[in-house]
Amino acid sequence: MTHPTENQKYLVSWDQLHRDCRSLTKQIIAMDRKWDGIIAITRGGMIPAAIIARELGIRLVDTISVRTYSHQQISEPVILNDVSATQDGENFLLIDDLVDTGKTAKFVRERLPKAFFATVYAKPEGKPLVDAFITEVSQDTWIYFPWDLALDYVKPLSKTADE
């Protein structure tokens, strides 16, 4: 992927992520189902899964480790560590931060076909593969999550503003 332009960036703060995870949890609560546990897709799904687990009172949180990105390039998914809490995902929430092209989503859906798949953010290509999400962004937008960012000084736009 090429570096995104200013209009293709979506910066997510810790506060925004927390609000969005709580909104996603409200959608899940409205389903009025009992869940046996949560499966976080690592690494991006770990923090949303922890927030959702807390909000739902779920203590069983497992992970499935899938690598799809390498240096902002999308590659074929590979399981680095498989889930152990369930065979097919029945009565489990499957949580990730984002569904992008759908490669990871399709790969994990095949592994856990009965899980309810929820992501915080979704892009058009991957959106049909998840059961719930909060915010949709365009396919060419790169989402910067709070764990990818650091607070830093930004120069004013005007060249004379620093004088």
Annotation: binding site:
43-44, 96-104, 142-143
12-18 LR contacts (CB < 8 Å, sep 24+)? 12/121, 12/143, 12/144, 12/145, 12/146, 13/146, 14/146, 17/47, 17/48, 17/51, 17/120, 17/145, 17/146, 18/51
* CA dist 38 → 116, 127, 142, 152 (Å): 10, 20, 26, 35
Task: Give dist(CA 74, CA 57) in Å, integer.
Answer: 34
| Residue 152 annotated as catalytic | no
Annotation: binding site for 5-phospho-alpha-D-ribose 1-diphosphate:
43-44, 96-104
| Residue 140 annotated as catalytic | no
Active-site pick, 62, 97, 140, 148 = 97
Active-site pick, 20, 36, 62, 96 = 96
| Residue 97 annotated as catalytic | yes
Annotation: binding site for xanthine:
100, 143
Annotation: binding site for guanine:
100, 143
Annotation: binding site for Mg(2+):
97
Active-site pick, 20, 32, 82, 100 = 100
Query: Annotated active-site positions, please?
Result: 96-97, 100
